[in-house]
Amino acid sequence: MEIMPDIFSWLSRDAADIVSRLGFIDYTVLAINILLMVFARRILNLIYHDKVSDSRRLNRVYVFRALNLLIILSFGYYHLYLPMSDRGVGLKLVSVFVVIYLGYLFAHIIGYLARQKFGKTREVNGVKKSVETYNSRLLGLLSGIFIFIIVLISIVQILGFSGLLEAGGVIGFIGVFLALTQNAWAPDIFSGLIILNSGMVEEGDVVEITESTPYLGMVYKTKMFHTEILNIVNNHRIMLKNSKLREYTIHNLSKFASAKGLREKLHFKIGYDIDAGKVRAMFGEAFKTAKDDTSNNIESQYNLEVGIRDTGDHAIEWTIYYYTKDVKNLIKTRQYFRELVWITAQKHGINLATPLTHSVDMISS
């Protein structure tokens, strides 16, 4: 029964000893880090307004909270467990984590301010967001390098590498490492800056990329090393290295050559037995139906253009041209117009199936 009072007495003495070791600055540091841990999610929501996945948002919160926790643990280790003769090691450990945390926090804050000041506000996938530009990305990159140098020099000084040879050795090692790995990161960074500076591929633009299999996609985000593209047809994301993206032929469908919009075309193969006037009348009626339907995305104020693209062996390939500005629904518009032409062709007795023809030369003996 006397064990419990002894335990409480020991705990009270130990707690009193801990309290006596901590001063005003110590309590301030602990309180600030605890508050930063608690409000990490709100702080990050103020810095980042872009719509990201829940897992990525949680990862950002975990990184900030982990740095705060490391500071608190190092601080406690310094005050509670290290003897007085070894206090210098604990103080160095706490200082290193504080410098890393502040550098990480300031880098994100400056990046946010750069996007707000020099970025553009665009609608991407139905959400308005501040997107990167060449100026904002360059400012963020230069500020990140500057903060990294300051953090590196501070850590070198804190760890006691005060001599010129020692400090130069640490910085030289990092410089050699970056030089040896530059082929892995430098081309993508500079390619990303070139892409942003050209203004030809911006977030929210609909592009057609000609690879082995061409596809339509919307530029979702241009990051430091890669670009995320949302495949419009299959509704999935594609990640392309910035250096690789510059090697492709990219058709930006959102950058119109005129105020009319994008000049779209559709091809139809119709047999030689159908009169040209009848074909043109069929296309004209289909376009009139589309003009009366206000739910479609066709620019109905501009006339439909009809022409012959090719005279093949079995059929004439007709091409119709129309204008649209809603390039994000380009696939839906194509499907709508093709179905409308098919329905109208049936009413006119025109078969859209490519006829099979052959000729036989009769050679008399």
Question: From CA 249, how far away is CA 209, in angstroms rounded?
Answer: 6
Question: From CA 18, how far away is CA 20, in angstroms rounded?
Answer: 5
Residue identified by tokens 């009348």 is 281
Which CATH number do you get for residue 236? 2.30.30.520
Statement to judge: residues 52 and 76 lie in one domain: yes
Whether the CB-CB separation of 299 and 324 falls below 8 Å is answered with yes
DSSP 79: I
Question: From CA 279, how far away is CA 98, in angstroms rounded?
Answer: 76
Residue 108 within a domain: yes
The number of CA neighbours under 13 Å toward the Cβ of 251 is 11
Token duo for residue 311? 């005279």
Read off the pLDDT of residues 169-188 as tens digits, 9 standing for 90 and up: 666 767 777 777 777 778 88
Residue 361 within a domain: no
Residue identified by tokens 């903060």 is 147
Whether the CB-CB separation of 270 and 318 falls below 8 Å is answered with yes
Residue 322 within a domain: yes
Statement to judge: residues 247 and 272 lie in one domain: no
Number of H-type helices and E-type strands within the chain = 11, 10
Statement to judge: residues 137 and 64 lie in one domain: yes
| Radius of gyration in angstroms for the set of CA atoms belonging to the chain, rounded to a whole number | 33
Residue 112 within a domain: yes
Statement to judge: residues 266 and 299 lie in one domain: yes
Whether the CB-CB separation of 282 and 345 falls below 8 Å is answered with yes
Q: What's the pLDDT score for residue 76? A: 65
Q: Which residue has the higher pLDDT, 8 or 96?
A: 96
Statement to judge: residues 26 and 144 lie in one domain: yes
Residue 1 within a domain: no
Count of domains for the chain: 3
56 burial via Cβ count (<10 Å: 0-12, 13-18, 19+): exposed
Which span out of 68-72, 166-170, 321-325, 360-364 was modeled with the highest average pLDDT?
321-325
Q: Which helix H or strand E contains 108, and what residues bound it? A: helix 87-118
Question: From CA 296, how far away is CA 299, in angstroms rounded?
Answer: 9
320 closest CA partner among 279, 361, 363? 279
Statement to judge: residues 92 and 158 lie in one domain: yes
Statement to judge: residues 15 and 90 lie in one domain: yes
Q: Give me the residues paired with residue 268 across strands.
A: 318
Residue 236 within a domain: yes
Statement to judge: residues 74 and 55 lie in one domain: yes
What percent of the chain shows pLDDT beyond 70?
A: 76
Q: Please say which residue of 252, 273, 294 terminates a domain.
A: 252
Which span out of 115-119, 125-129, 279-283 was modeled with the highest average pLDDT?
279-283
Question: From CA 186, how far away is CA 191, in angstroms rounded?
Answer: 8
Read off the pLDDT of residues 12-66 as tens digits, 9 standing for 90 and up: 545 555 555 666 666 777 788 788 778 777 777 776 655 555 666 777 777 778 7
Q: Which residue has the higher pLDDT, 280 or 108?
A: 280
Residue 189 within a domain: no
Read off the pLDDT of residues 191-244 as tens digits, 9 standing for 90 and up: 888 888 888 888 888 999 887 778 899 998 888 888 989 988 888 888 889 888
Structural domain range at position 204: 197-252
Statement to judge: residues 299 and 216 lie in one domain: no
